[in-house]
Amino acid sequence: HAASVEAALSNVRLAKQKIDRQHADSTRGYNVKLGRGGIREIEFIAQALQLAHGADDTWLHAPHTLISLGRLADRHLITERERTELSDAYSFLRMLEHRLQMEHGLQTHSVPDEEERRALVARRMNFHAHDALAEFNLALALHTTRVRAAYERVFGETQQPPPAPIPQHAKDKAAIATDEAAFNTTATVADEAAASAVDEPDVAATADANAHAAPSRASRLEATTPHADADTAATLAAANVFATRLISDSSDLNQHAPASESDAGKRVARLLHEAAHAGSLNARRALSYVARVAASLDKSNTVVELSEAHLCSLVRLCGASEFFGEMLASNPALINSLLTSAEAVRERDYRALLRAEIDREGSFRQELIALRRAWSQLLVEIGARDSLGELPHADSNRLQTELATASINAAYLVARREMARRYGNLAAGPRLSVLGLGRLASGGMDYGSDLDLVIVYDSQVPSPVAALTRDEAYTRLVELMVSALSSLTRAGYLYRVDLRLRPDGKNGALVRSSASFVEYLRTRADMWEWLAYVKLRAVGGDLELGRAVEREARSVIHERARGADREELRLETRRVRERLERERGASHQASRGAIDIKFGAGGVLDVYFAARYLQLRDDVEDEGRDRSTRTTLARLRDAHALDAANYETLAAGYAALRKLDHHLRLIAGRSSRLPAAADHAVLRDLARAADYESAAALLAELEQRTKAIRAAYAHITSIET
């Protein structure tokens, strides 16, 4: 094992040395991606340690750098300090990368050396004081120095002492800029060995014994003592931050205010501890994320007034969800959204709320920030009620789908406004429609879901910009819309936008005329594309146009399916499904028995492909606005395309898998893989959240469900009637 670790580290180290040699003579300024202490070094740290240790630990197989850093720290492969410093640096450098690329969309990664241009970058990075350039330079030095130190420690390139300290004022400014970088809906998992609540210390009692040694603020959050002492110190530090922000309410905590700040901190620490163990899914996760939220709040200028109810809700949400713990740690102002009632959440008009926020702003940049700020608040409202069981997961999916469609329309509005700023008032429209596929089309959006989109414009309407052709104008409009949805700003991003299912895939135009889209489906679309497009639904832009295109597209697909060879359709369905299982599912499941509930055998995709195959084989169209898989299965049963036994198997199995998928996303972020070990901390949490008696009971039922789904899928796609 030691040899394999060394080999993995050596291979990555050699790759980075090659990059350094290739860019050694560059004179174009510091490269934030490839330079010393840059983004690539952070990625190499994460990837090398994943390669070195991931064969024996599937939990390290995380797709996102920030998720990886958290999990590496949980396994003690990097220190907590390194995790914090590398995460902060990654957010700062990613934001800097996007700032550098904002001007004319240039794909540059170099910070200019010219003082005037560099000062402009500093202002874009939220450094606004009279010495903004100097503070930006110091902040950049802070982050890159820390990254390089961690890189050299991991790869054993130097035994030199730590670098000279960075001036405190630069640290503070860098912290503010990092706080305003993108929030990341990512996960860090609590240490499995300490996940059980029975191992938690009595926070208040331990705090009393150690109060004389504890600083009063979040500096103790960087404690490197053993877990129990570090958790206690971190909780007390968090409590001291929160205590100064408590507002008067009816709670005993505030009715009888302690005589000193120290006493207030101890009492809030007791409150946090009791809330974590009485009402949270995972007490250690709760206190860990609460400490991170407090640290972020303490070093920012955010004004947040807290009640005891806010604190209890914060603890419960952090204990239930790493996904939201990360959001709150990146943006503590979101605490204000935690107490919105389930009734109010259900009644939200997301489109009106997002529109109102955008209308207050007058520039593309500020509109993007306002859109992200409002979206984050609305998503946290859903998550807070969801984590308490006040929103059934079907309601959560519906609300998230409504929020996604409202976000698409808000992004379209932002894009149109920016086009008008650049080219003057738009004529003849524009008339554009956004068509959804996948979860967006079926109404099943969930935490971390992508937006799978196809975008078309009206073939009969002239170009909205006189100086541009229709294709040029609509392409620029769509680029701005996608940027509004997915680009990383200091307020974060909303969704990953996936346009790969558009006609001709990655080689096709981002947007095309409605007539050419329908013609593509009629003459050139492959059979496997029918399986995706059969769920097409208009979700944004001009809905009249979109619904007309949707109807015509479905009609063409069913017409082609009716004329197709049924055996060829069956074989193509199986080919595509088996390819996805082979490439995405089997490799995951082969690693220490991890269970992939989406791509693996008997997973969600078996249900999807069985249902879509039967829709095309037996010409069963989706009617009405409900395109959910559950409703499609019922339609297939009613049309006698699906027998009663297979319907019951697929419907019940799909409901069980989607429930697990929903809770897994809430707990650990976007993932379709479950650990197979019944004593795994995440599996224990998932079992509790999904109302199973134990993790073993969850695994036993899951095995039965997936075997039954696979048998039904095999039966459906192996017969010809």
CB atoms within 10 A of CB 477: 27
Residue 176 has what pLDDT? 40
User: 3-state class of 339 per DSSP?
Assistant: coil
What pLDDT, on a 0 to 100 scale, did the predictor assign at position 522? 96
Q: Which helix (H) or strand (E) holds 13?
A: helix 2-22
CB-count exposure of residue 46 (10 Å: 0-12, 13-18, 19+)? buried
Angstrom distance (rounded) from CA 716 to CA 570 = 9
What is the model's pTM? 0.72
Which of 299, 371, 285 minimizes the C-alpha distance to 331? 299
Q: Where are the alpha helices (DSSP H) in 183-250?
A: 203-210, 227-243
Ordered alpha helix ranges (H), 388-449: 393-423, 438-442
Report yes or no: 264 and 258 within 8 Å, Cβ to Cβ: yes
Integer Cα distance of 159 and 182 in angstroms: 34
Q: What tokens were used for 553?
A: 């597209």
DSSP letter assigned to residue 211:
G
Residue with tokens 């829709």: 615
Find the radius of gyration of the CA atoms of the chain: 27
Q: Which residues of the chain fall short of a pLDDT of 50?
A: 1, 104-105, 158-228, 250-259, 587-591, 721
How confident is the model at residue 262, as a pLDDT? Answer: 65
Angle between helices 2-22 and 132-155 (to 10 degrees): 140
The DSSP secondary structure of 550-567, one letter per residue, reads HHHHHHHHHHHHHTS-HH
- Given this model, what pLDDT does residue 618 score? 96
Confidence (pLDDT) at 707? 97
First to last CA, the chain: 54
8 Å CB contact between 453 and 436: yes
Tokens of 501: 């299912």
* Cβ–Cβ < 8 Å for 38, 144: yes
Tokens 């109060």, residue located: 211
pLDDT of residue 679: 79
